[in-house]
Amino acid sequence: MKRRDFLKKAGVAAAGAAFSPLMFANAQASTFRFGMVTSWPTSLDTIFGGALNTAKFLNEVTQGDVEVEVYPAGAQVGGLEVYDAVSSGAFEMGHTASYYYVGKDPAHAYFTSLPFGMNAQQHNAWMLSGGGQDLWNELNAPDNLIAFPAGNTGTQMGGWFNKEINSADDLQGLTMRIPGLGGQVMSRAGANVQVLPGGEIFLALERGTIDATEWVGPYDDQILGFNQVARFYYSPGWHEPGPALGAYMNLDVYNDLPEDIQNAFQTAASAANVKMLADYDARNGKALAEILAGGNVELRTFPEEYLNTLEGFANEIFAEATNSSTMFARTWGPWTSFRDDVRGFHAISEKAWLDYSID
């Protein structure tokens, strides 16, 4: 439907939560005015940038028909309350990580990143071309939500620790910030697990209320200052090898949109998706070099046996989730089948190339 027809037919303008009028100087020209709550502080400009880019691209491509005001974590709702705030309709849109909400259903973990799962390229393939999006829709619809991939950090670092990690025994009694099923793995391995939004981690680490944390990678971790308060920096990020962020919309709001605006939302999210991964890749290399040049940080790789132990715990958790969650069980077969196929091809393509090109 063309915008003019829709305007004629529908009357218009989605109601909204309390907006700052100053940020809508041009609002009279816009048909749809949406508020987007996010899980990110503005200081983390790459991941918060994923929310801003989704809003910006959607505004641009619709020639101003959709205007989105983006709120950082805490401005309207807490960083981990985004899902509920969009589900209830208090806000039309959100930008968050689905795995923050595994307490509602463990199946939410698939749509950020499963521990020991797929990397960003593989996850995008599953979501965009392998049936993943349909399963995400099925999971979100009962909560009156729809979401599309709108950012990815790439393979993360494994985290910051105040001591060396040589085996899972070293995790006994360690308090670590790590969300999602990765956190459940660490808990099973003996760690005390906390989930904190990005903006609250530094103080907890500095004050010693946590001994370890993961966030994203060198660029963000440097902004958050972890290199000033933790010594051992581990890779790789087994707990989220290619975590995707999601652009959420309240499903009633979405269903009331003309189809071309619905499609524009998905296209804008896709463009923000590839842009965030590009931003992280463009920024992490320099940040890593700076962190190491600081001299206080020691880079480490998790021992393979340690990873094997954690993968064993992960498989236990997956098996239990298959029993406890219908959607986890429904998604497991298609997800593992896709993962195995794409790994089989990447073994001789992407991995073979990295093996040759990176020493």
Segment contacting its own copies (CB under 8 A): 154-162, 167-175, 181-189, 204-212?
A: 154-162
Among positions 42, 121, 175, 192, the unique one binding its own copies when judged by CB under 8 A: 121
Segment contacting its own copies (CB under 8 A): 74-82, 249-257, 319-327, 343-351?
A: 343-351
Of 88 and 290, which CB lies nearer to its own copies in the complex structure?
290
Among positions 14, 128, 195, 204, the unique one binding its own copies when judged by CB under 8 A: 128
Segment contacting its own copies (CB under 8 A): 11-19, 87-95, 200-208, 269-277?
A: 269-277
316 binds its own copies (CB under 8 A): no
Beta carbon of residue 282, minimum distance to its own copies (angstroms, whole number):
4
Beta carbon of residue 323, minimum distance to its own copies (angstroms, whole number):
25
Return all residues near 77 (Cβ < 8 A) that are at least 6 apart.
37, 71, 84, 85, 90, 91
281 binds its own copies (CB under 8 A): yes
Q: In which element (H, E) is residue 264 found? A: helix 259-293
Of 224 and 288, which CB lies nearer to its own copies in the complex structure?
288
**DSSP per-residue string spanning 106-153:** GGGGGGT--TT---HHHHHHHHHHSSHHHHHHHHHGGGTEEEEEEEE-
Of 39 and 273, which CB lies nearer to its own copies in the complex structure?
273
Among positions 23, 141, 299, 319, the unique one binding its own copies when judged by CB under 8 A: 299
Q: Is the peptide bond before 236 cis (omega within 30 degrees of 0)?
A: yes
Beta carbon of residue 90, minimum distance to its own copies (angstroms, whole number):
27
**DSSP per-residue string spanning 42-90:** TTSHHHHHHHHHHHHHHHHHTTTSEEEEEE-TTTSS-TT-HHHHHHTTS
28 binds its own copies (CB under 8 A): no
150 binds its own copies (CB under 8 A): no
- The span from the CA of 236 to the CA of 156, in Å, is 7
Segment contacting its own copies (CB under 8 A): 76-84, 89-97, 117-125, 224-232?
A: 117-125
Of 125 and 204, which CB lies nearer to its own copies in the complex structure?
125
Let me know how long the chain is: 359
Counting beta carbons within 10 angstroms of the beta carbon of residue 112, is it exposed (0 to 12), middle (13 to 18) or buried (19 or more)? buried
125 binds its own copies (CB under 8 A): yes
268 binds its own copies (CB under 8 A): yes
173 binds its own copies (CB under 8 A): no
Among positions 20, 43, 88, 129, the unique one binding its own copies when judged by CB under 8 A: 129
3-state SS, residue 276? helix
137 binds its own copies (CB under 8 A): no
3-state SS, residue 282? helix
Segment contacting its own copies (CB under 8 A): 137-145, 195-203, 319-327, 341-349?
A: 341-349
CB 93 within 8 A of CB 34: yes
**Checking DSSP bridges between strand 145-152 and strand 175-177, what pairing results, if any?**
unpaired
Beta carbon of residue 212, minimum distance to its own copies (angstroms, whole number):
18
Of 177 and 339, which CB lies nearer to its own copies in the complex structure?
339
φ, ψ for residue 41 (rounded to 5)?
-75, 150
Which residues face 244 on adjacent strands?
152
Beta carbon of residue 18, minimum distance to its own copies (angstroms, whole number):
27
Per CB under 8 A, which of residues 221..260 are in contact with its own copies? Answer: 235-238, 241, 258, 260
Q: In which element (H, E) is residue 324 found? A: helix 304-324
140 binds its own copies (CB under 8 A): no
3-state SS, residue 179? coil
